[in-house]
Structures are given as structure tokens and as C-alpha cells.
A and B are shown apart, each in its own frame.
Chain A
């Protein structure tokens, strides 16, 4: 019997068959899922550098940076886990309303039940855990499209955020935490809803949310590219049947991803409540589409199985720059939506081209 060493003695024609071609580093960079978003972000940044109508060209200063990164942070903390979920082959339409509902839950725990703010944060995360589990288990058990299941969650939460709040908050949909004594709220604000790096050129500093945004992106990149769970995310979205055949717990993976988007919603809720000290019913409703746009612009495949965590973060930066840029350019911000629609369409077309190229079988 010949051994492994014998196997290598292939004839020239066989050698041609048995050697896999390598792709150049340059081509590989072009094929990375987040490459399109990086180019897009650079382009949008340059466009607003030219369109900047402020007297001292503030767009290029720290003031400009602070304003669009703040916007980007609120989109990005969500779009990155949403991207992971999309790579895992599922959607979550309850993400937008979750950012508002969790803020309200925390506000009510503090304002009505007089919880310490840190305990309220624990309670809010517990609430998010329940919502994430319900979404995940419902999708996995019913095998219905997650689009429908989480759309139902969205409406249930949206309705409850009005009805329940009106009921417990003296007929107002605005829960305000101002003027009272709220233990722990000041320290919670330090961690979640404060600012940092104040200087003479930037008196207001940057939002703490920006650090959370960076943290979430780094954490999700680590999970996706370095851990076993990351491997399972790609497999669950790429080919669930093959994944199951080799022993990947596809259902558990998907449930954990729904928990991820839910927890991210709670993080945004906590940040926004500690920043503003108030929360309003229906806050965040409709934002789920920004997160999905950011993820798609970031190169996450709608069908699942392909993408990155950096991509959706860059997508969030594009949306953040677009929203703030129109103000600097003194343009009519009513066109924001139109701009986003066009960007989304271009991104999907570009992604499709890259996806096809990545999969182009050599012959």
C-alpha cells in the first residue's frame, strides 16, 4: 500500500488537476465583503468635504467628526449585530422599536419602581433577553421567515410601548427622569451617556456612544472571525443543511444571534436614556431599516452566509455622514431618504457583482 508520500508522485496532468489556484492579495482585498463600504465611506466623506458650506469648513475639523460619529454610533451599535444575524441567515425587524422600548423599560424601572439605575440596567437587559429568546425560538421552532416573526414582535412592542406607558404614566407617552433623586443614574450616565476628550477646539467632546460603537464592532469582529461560534454563524446562514450534517448547532446559533440584536437594542436604549434622561413611546420605530441598509451597504449578503462586522460599521458611518453632511452642506435634509434609497440600491447591485465574482468557479 502506498503512503502519503507516494500520493504526491502525481503525473504532470494530474498535478494540474490537483493544485488549487491562488488568488492575488490585491484581488482578495477587492473581494472582501467590506471593501465596497470602505470605498463608499471615503467617497461620501469626500463629497461632503467639497459640499461643506460652513464658514470655517467645520466638516474637516473635530466638530464635524464628533457630529457624524455620534450619529454613526447609534446606527452602528445596532447594524453590526444586525449584520451578524444577517450572515446567520435571519432578519430582525424588531430592532428599531427595541431601542425605544428598552429605554422606556429602564425609565419606568427607575421613575416608577424607584430602582437603582444599575439594577434598572440589569432589568432592561433581562427584558431584552426575553424578547431575543422569543424571537429566536419562534423563528427556529415555527420555521417561518424571521421577517414575519420579528415583524409581529415589532408591532406587539410598538403597541405596548404606547398602551402600557399611557396606562402607567398618567396618560403621557413621555417618561421623564428630571428633577428627582435617582440613585445610580449619574454614574450610569458617566458610563453610557456622557462625553469624552473635550478640548478647546471641541468643547462638547465626543459621545461615549462612539466608544461603545467601536467596542461592539471589535467584539463582533472577534466573534465572527476568531471564534468557533463565528464559524457557525457563517455556516448557519450559508448552508444550514450542510452545517447540520457536520454537527453545527444551527438553531442554537440563530437564537444566540437574535439575543445579540436584542441586547444591542438594550444598549442603545440605555445610552439614549442616560443621555436624554427621558424616553418616548415609539422612539426608534422605523430605524430597523437603517440598520439593515447599513448591513447591506457593508457587504452582508441578504441571503446570509457572507459578510463582516466591519462592513456594517462602515455602513453606519455612511448613514451618519449622510445625515450630518446635509446640514454642513446646507442642503435640504428632506432628501435624506432619497439618498439612502439610492445608496442601498447601488450597494445591493455592487454586492451582487462581488458575490458572483467570489463564487466564480474556475474551469
Chain B
């Protein structure tokens, strides 16, 4: 495989809050047309990493590199101007507003001059339809309010919008955590669409089962440190799960729960844990 230039890289990035090392010496690279999954349990440093990448705060040491040159993000707007867009889980669309109004919110196309300047609604609707079609969604009614869409479709609107407004790198923060199985599948499909459109995608998740099918690279974080970095062919979903949770701990927990199997809910939980725990442990 030909090595392409990375869209954005972090080199030995560290961040401390008080005495806590939120992130230490993390190096990763995001390539066009690839999905880079950042995996880790709660407190692993995933959100610190996104916030550095999206310009919320700068790293204490290490650097961000775009196109081979170090950059400094003073604020999220600067990050956006470099083509790095963050899609927040529930904070990206306004439920009571229509699809086309949401799509162009904050970047409305206008026509006319002076006091007669107005939104170019026809163009807005047309562009929204075209862009949603690229994500594989056929919009029949541009005036449909976003609140009537499913959670997965709402994320698709946010992703399509970010792609249209020039995002080269899309950061998706736990896009599936609040969704059911089917809706999660839909979101993962849209992540693949964004990848097919040549965007670099950073997928933040704690769920290796969601990450593995769509990811090209996997970066594992644990307590702020880089635990491992793999290409897809170098790893398996079992391996990722084991690395993340510590397979032995999970197995032990499932045995303990098994002992309580007279309680139906507990038995179900134990079965799930056993299924998640890797075979070899």
C-alpha cells in the first residue's frame, strides 16, 4: 500500500490537569479515506485528545502537524479553518427545525442585497438533498423537522453538513453510545460513506464491536497513555477487547456473576460478559 500524506498528526502530545496526566506522549496520524478509531475506557484520555484536535485547548507539550508543518489551534474556529470538524453527539442539530434549515444553520446561503438580502431557500434545499444523497439518504421532504428523524439519521445530517462545509477530518465523539443496535449500524454506514468521500475520520468510541468493522487503524488509550496502535490486518476484535478491558478481569467478573445466576437479570449480564471476554483467557 502506498503511504499517503497524513491529514493531521499528533506528535508526542501531552496534557496535564493539575497533577493528573490526562494524556502522555500520544502520537497518531489520520489519513484521507481512512477511519482511525480511538479506543479506550472511561478516563483513558479520549476526550482530552479530541479537545486538543478540535482546538478547545492546546497540548502542554508535543505538537499538532498538518501537511508536514506544525500548527497551533488558538480556538475551535481555527481548527475548523484547517478543515477539522467535530460532530458532537446530541449537540449538532436543532430538533424543531427543518432539515434544510439545520443543514445550513450558521452558514446560510443568501441572495439579494441590503434590506432585501434573504436566504436562498431553493439552493439550500437542493444542496441539502444532493449532500444527503451522497450519504445515501434520499430526502423527499426538505421541510421535515429534524426531531422526527432517528438518532442515526440526525448524526448523518451533521456528518453530511461537516463534509459539505469542507471538513477534511471528521471527529465523531461517541456517535453510537446513545443509540440502539440498528441505529448504531446506520451511523457506522454513514462513517463509511464519509470515508468513501475521501475524508479522514476519527471515531472515538469505547466499543470495539462498533470500531472494528469500520476502522482502518486502531489507537488504544489507557490512563492517558498510548497502549497500542494497529492497522486492521494486525488485530482482531477479540484482541482489541482484551487490550481495552483487560480480558482476565472481564472473565473473572463473568464468573462471579455466574455464581448469582439464580437472579435472571444477573445471568443475562453474565452471558453477555462471557461473550465479550476473549476465548483464550
Chain A contacts to B: CB under 8 angstroms:
1-4, 6-8, 10, 14-15, 17-23, 28, 222, 226-228, 230-232, 234-235, 238-239, 241-243, 245-248, 301, 305-306, 358-363
| CB-based A-B contact count at 8 angstroms | 126
Complex contact A360–B148 (CB within 8 A): yes
Whether A359 and B96, one on each chain, are in contact in the complex, defined by CB atoms closer than 8 angstroms, is yes
Q: Is B186 an interface residue (CB 8 A)?
A: yes
Q: Tell me which of B99-107, B206-214, B259-267 binds A.
A: B99-107
CA distance A330 to B137 in the complex (A): 60
A-contact 0/1 string along B135-168, CB 8 Å cutoff: 1111111011101111001000000010000000
Is A234 in contact with B94, judged by CB distance below 8 angstroms? yes
Q: Are A7 and B134 in contact (CB under 8 A)?
A: yes
**9-residue interface stretch from B10-18, B59-67, B115-123, B233-241:** B115-123
**A22 x B141 contact (CB < 8 A):** yes
CB-nearest residue of chain B to A234: B97
Enumerate 14 A-B pairs (CB-CB under 8 Å) in ascending A order. A3-B196, A4-B134, A4-B197, A20-B99, A20-B141, A20-B144, A20-B149, A21-B141, A22-B140, A226-B121, A227-B119, A232-B105, A242-B92, A305-B97
In contact, A21 and B97 (Cβ under 8 angstroms): no
User: Which residues from A are CB-within-8-Å of B147?
Assistant: 358-359, 361
Residue of A nearest to B109 (CB): A228
Q: Which residue of A lies closest to B87 (CB)?
A: A245
B110 beta carbon closer than 8 Å to chain A:
yes
The interface of chain B, by Cβ under 8 A from chain A, is: 33, 77, 88, 91-97, 99, 101, 104-108, 110, 117-119, 121, 133-141, 143-145, 147-150, 153, 161, 186, 189, 193, 196-198
Pick from A7, A18, A241, A359: contact of B148, CB below 8 A: A359
Cβ–Cβ contact B88 & A14, under 8 A:
no
The CA of A247 and the CA of B118, in the complex, are separated in Å by 18
Closest to A248 in B: B106
Chain A residues near B108 (CB-CB < 8 A) = 228, 231
Min distance, Cβ A355 to any Cβ of chain B, angstroms: 8
Contacts of A28 in B (CB 8 A): 143
- Asked if A7 contacts B118 (CB within 8 A), the reply is no
Docked complex Cα distance between A248 and B95 (Å)? 16
Which residue from B133, B140, B189 sits with its C-beta under 8 Å from A21? Answer: B140
B94 touching A228, Cβ below 8 Å: no
How far does the alpha carbon of A248 sit from the alpha carbon of B107 in the complex, in Å? 9
B6 to A: closest C-beta gap in Å: 18
Inter-subunit contact A245/B137 (CB<8 Å): no
Q: Are A245 and B198 in contact (CB under 8 A)?
A: no
Whether A19 contacts B150 in the complex (CB less than 8 A), given A235-B94, A247-B106, comes out as no
The docked-state distance in angstroms from the alpha carbon of A360 to that of B150 is: 10
Contact of B140 among A10, A19, A234, A360 (CB under 8 A): A19
Closest to B108 in A: A228
